Amino acid sequence: MSAAVAARRDPLLPDRFRVTGRTRETADTWTLTLEPVDRDPLAFAPGQFNMVYAFGAGEVPISISGDPGRAGPLVHTVRAVGKATAAICDAQEGAMLGVRGPFGTDWPLAAAEGRDVVVVAGGVGLAPVRPIVYAVLAQPDRFGRALVLYGGRQPDQLLYSAELAAWREQGIDVDVTVDIATSSWTGKVGVVPQLIGRAALDPERAVAFVCGPEAMMRFSAEALLERGLRPEHVYVSMERNMKCAVGQCGHCQLGPEFVCRDGAVFSWPRIRHAFRIREI
Amino acid sequence: MKEMEELVAEVPVLSGLAQAHLDLIAGCAQNTRFDAGTYLFREGDPADRFYAVRQGAVALEIHVPAREAVVVETLHTGDLLGWSWLFPPFRWSFDARALEPVGAIAFDGACLRGKCETDPELGYALMQRIAQVIIERLQATRMRLLDVYGVEAAT
């Protein structure tokens, strides 16, 4: 990397990335692949996020959902829920987006070495934990059993359906449930904590990584603790209104924590206080 | 082959019951099987029994006019199915459809109600356990009311 390029590595300045691929996951969710225009490919750890900038629309934090062990384009799965995310989802192949990052803490896979990995995800929250699954599949001997417990609103809003089937074939215990379904759905109907209650897991040797809407994470963490997991073996990824992403602006401050800098991945004992604060 | 008393003792919701009570319950129980796609019961039918699912999956469905039936919940191995046998009018509120081949223990509601009335200790112990199931299902339903994956929740 040239000195000029290195000098531009200001964390507040976005780099240009070109959209090289886009896949529709659901009615409002797209997976984009992005290639850097004037920088090296971006290395990241599972759980980290980037600030993705749709020029003229806005910048939002998006977790990286690709394979951390594979060189290649950056992968982001984005749900269109506001102006900026809608613009990112609308970006066509060849379009340019700004990217800053990666930022934040990562899923502590070292804590799961020799243990069973329990991935608990809800909705688009499957995207930030997908790199964990890739890491487990890449190094199966490093971990014990792997379980993916995934819930969504309804069948047509589930992410990565083909990949979930492929993970099953590769030995991962995948269990899926939805909140709402009609009789053509032959899978489970219920909430993610019910999957946790029924999962064949050994709480003594399990480490759980939880990502989804905060209400879902709260109930899931409680269900995991009820199953007997130790609190320090439960990790969650918080979603907050991040702006600077480097712990300066305070937009994502949650009590003593800056979610962008101190998280977004937190151990349950460190962040559970936030789940008890009303209307926060 | 296991005796019915053993099978009844393996039903999670009945765990911890006194052996004498398990024996009484087993006296009202029988093994049953359903092919995939068949109905264990239909809405409005007499609710004269309930089930403990030993194997397979069952969808609880609400019939909606002019639309595909809505699945309220699915039940799986170890789950209890049905509590309409407990209270008048003893009619099912939902359809229950086997999503795959289902093996279950069927409990005769009238038989069990009779035993509970003559043995209030059994009645209380059984009611406590069934109430726990009802509470867990209610809590799960309340979680779904939050619609945590909806667009409103995501913004």
Q: Tell me the CATH class for A3-103.
A: mainly beta
Predicted pLDDT of residue A1: 47
Predicted pLDDT of residue A7: 52
The shortest C-alpha distance from B120 to chain A (Å) reads 31
Q: Pick from B56, B12, B61, B15: which is nearest to B36 by CA?
A: B56
Averaged pLDDT for residues B55-79: 94
**Of B68, B100, B149, Cβ closest to residue A153:** B149
Q: Tell me the CATH class for A109-276.
A: alpha beta
Q: Residue B1 pLDDT more than 80?
A: no
Q: Which domains does chain B have, with CATH numbers?
A: 4-148 (2.60.120.10)
Distance CA A178, CA A102 (A): 32
Give the CA angle between residues B116, B121, B122 to the nearest 5°.
Answer: 45
Contacts of A181 in chain B (CB under 8 A): 70-71
Q: Residue B149 pLDDT more than 50?
A: yes
Domain boundaries, chain A: 3-103, 109-276
pLDDT per position as a tens digit, B122-142: 999 999 999 999 999 999 999
* Cβ contacts from A onto B, under 8 A: 76
Predicted pLDDT of residue B155: 47
pLDDT per position as a tens digit, B3-51: 999 999 999 999 999 999 999 999 999 999 999 999 999 999 999 999 9
The shortest C-alpha distance from B140 to chain A (Å) reads 6
The shortest C-alpha distance from B110 to chain A (Å) reads 30
**Of B74, B146, B147, Cβ closest to residue A189:** B74
Distance CA A159, CA B14 (A): 38
Predicted pLDDT of residue A196: 97
Predicted pLDDT of residue A278: 79
Put simply, the answer to whether B154 touches A193 (Cβ < 8 Å) is no
Q: Do domains A3-103 and A109-276 have the same CATH topology?
A: no
The shortest C-alpha distance from B73 to chain A (Å) reads 5
Predicted pLDDT of residue A22: 97
Residues of chain A where predicted confidence (pLDDT) is lower than 70? 1-8
* DSSP secondary structure letters along B66-124: TSPPEEEEEE-TT-EE--TTSSTT-B-SSEEEESS-EEEEEEEHHHHHHHHHH-HHHHH
* pTM (two decimals): 0.93
Q: CB-based contact (8 Å) between B65 and chain A?
A: no
Which residue is closest to A217 within chain B, CA to CA?
B148
pLDDT per position as a tens digit, B45-59: 999 999 999 999 999
ipTM: 0.91
